[in-house]
Homo-oligomer: A and B are copies of this chain.
């Protein structure tokens, strides 16, 4: 039904990101997005099934690019621990590069209704799969412990990065997010404990 291509399709998605970032999820009415995209309200329904579809599509498009960029970069590296560092870097760097997107993904889109949430979670799986791959590789390479539960490690990696970005956005991005790459990586690899002498 909805033609999910074309210049206007992209325009609408960009407009939605901008409007949500600027006015917040609850003030991002269809008509406001339409105005920002310089189309009529009804035109949005030629490209999307409904408002939720706009939000899910937006997340999928952006998240798809996000994951792909990350994957391309980490696959240039050999060792799993280096890949992990690169994944952390890409996550924080990409978020810090796009102010609007960070606000939308960390704050605003979390207010959305169950339908949108379901779509978002679907899109997130691709990213979680990427994280899993790094963990599995690390085990294969003997770089990560065999007895690490990969599901737990995945939660730690994603949960920490997510919390880091949310916290950074909520604190009005007062510090350099990328500066957290090394401390986070260090913590993931070495844990909290003091090394035995």
Where the two chains meet, the residues of A that have a C-beta atom closer than 8 Å to any C-beta of B are 24, 26, 81, 84, 107, 110-114, 117, 121, 135, 138, 142-145, 148-149, 152-153, 155-156, 158-164, 167, 170, 180, 183-184, 186-195
The answer, among B107, B138, B183, for a CB contact under 8 Å with A149, is B183
Query: In whole angstroms, how far apart are the Cα atoms of A45 and B186 in the complex?
Result: 51
How many copies altogether?
A: 4
In the complex, the answer to whether A189 meets B191 with C-beta atoms within 8 Å is yes
Query: In whole angstroms, how far apart are the Cα atoms of A192 and B94 in the complex?
Result: 24
Contact partners of A162 in chain B: CB under 8 A: 159, 163
In the complex, the answer to whether B187 meets A193 with C-beta atoms within 8 Å is no
In the complex, the answer to whether A155 meets B164 with C-beta atoms within 8 Å is yes
The answer, among B107, B111, B117, B148, for a CB contact under 8 Å with A187, is B148
